[in-house]
Chain A
Amino acid sequence: MTGSDTLAQRQAALVRALVADGPVPPGFDAAAVAAAGAVCRHKRDAHARAGVQRRRPSNCSPTPTSVAT
């Protein structure tokens, strides 16, 4: 992490680490990122399957049907 990184850059780096094979951003616990990434990928896959089944319009993201909130 550098002081000049913006919130947008930091959030993008975290999402890349979680679901796009990006490096763990500086300062994060690697085990926590790995565990959270597994949850994200599982949810994304589940949403994608639901999206195919429901033929959702392309301007909507797949519908989360089992999101833990």
Chain B
Amino acid sequence: MSTAVRTVPALGDVGLGWRSEIAGVIADLRPGFCEVIAESIPLRRRRARPDPALAELVARGVPVIPHGVALSLGGAEPVQPARVRRLAACAAALGSPLVSEHIAFVRAGGIEAGHLLPVPRTRAALDALARNIERTRAELTVPLAVENVASFLEWPESDLTESEFLTELVERCGVLLVLDVANVYANARNRGRDPHHELARLPVEQVAYSHVAGGHAGDDFYHDTHTARTPREVLDLVTALRDRVDVPFMLERDGRYPPAAELFDELDEIAEAAGAEPITTRAREVWT
């Protein structure tokens, strides 16, 4: 494991995505950090008004990261200023050490796709991403981290590898990364590749933190749904990444929430895979 200082020292070793459905359980955990979907936080008079349970976590000293899903950083069109302001307002309200978004586009030609779409791995797409990252960072007072996405779609014009694309993005913009190892797994599985081989080639020095999640195997593709327990193959990627660099990990769960004890088991598995202390000890006493 690398002994380099973390890119965001405020973050603890193991966290999870804050969702209102599991707010009661999260309140009894000791997460090293949480992430909240930025678009889920209400805005009034340009100020973000986080859920009281989320504000309580912040008051306890838990770093909370606004995670945007609708900025469309990878779009050919400029990011919408109101969406950038929303991210900045969330960071201000939560005292966040950073904000994060995706290397993706979600709309084009006036039509909303409804989901994160991959960009072609080309110089033209890098140019568009770099411009939108600069537009976004101009309004933020904290660092921005951008995340690799899962997709079955492959652009025919892609002439860079994932590794080349991410490396050039980091070098050009100096931007931080959210490295989603579940997305590395999903993409490798859907393309018949070895996820450890793919992970080994990705740039890791600028990683702010890493996402972990489970998905479902459909008839055609493996879907990164965040609605199932993290599979062993993804936990093995956690260990492989942690062997290369000291980064925090967090669980993303977005539905079909399990009983508290199962969630604690999964969080403990992630902590163990990452060589970190469990965050569930006190919560287990309360919930089981």
Contact = CB atoms under 8 A, between A and B. Distances in A.
Given A59-B82, A69-B67, A69-B149, A11 B75 contact: yes
Main secondary structure of the interface of B (DSSP, over half): loop
Nearest to A57: B43
Contacts of A43: 114-115
| Residue picked from A33, A44, A69, most chain B C-beta under 10 Å | A69
B128 interface: yes
A69 B156 contact: no
B40 interface: yes
Interface residues of A, number: 38
B16 interface: no
Contacts of A27: 155-157
Contacts of A61: 39, 70, 112
Nearest to B256: A66
B39 A64 contact: yes
Contacts of A41: 114
Contacts, number: 131
A31 B153 CA distance: 9
Contacts of B209: none
A67 B115 contact: yes
A36 B111 contact: no
A54 B210 CA distance: 31
Interface string B63-78: 0000101100001110
B254 interface: yes
B116 A15 contact: no
Interface in B36-55: 37, 39-40, 43
Contacts of B37: 63-65, 67
B221 interface: yes
B224 interface: yes
B255 interface: yes
Rank and list the top 9 A-B pairs by shortest CB-CB distance, nearest first: A27-B156, A12-B109, A44-B114, A8-B76, A11-B108, A43-B114, A7-B76, A12-B108, A32-B152
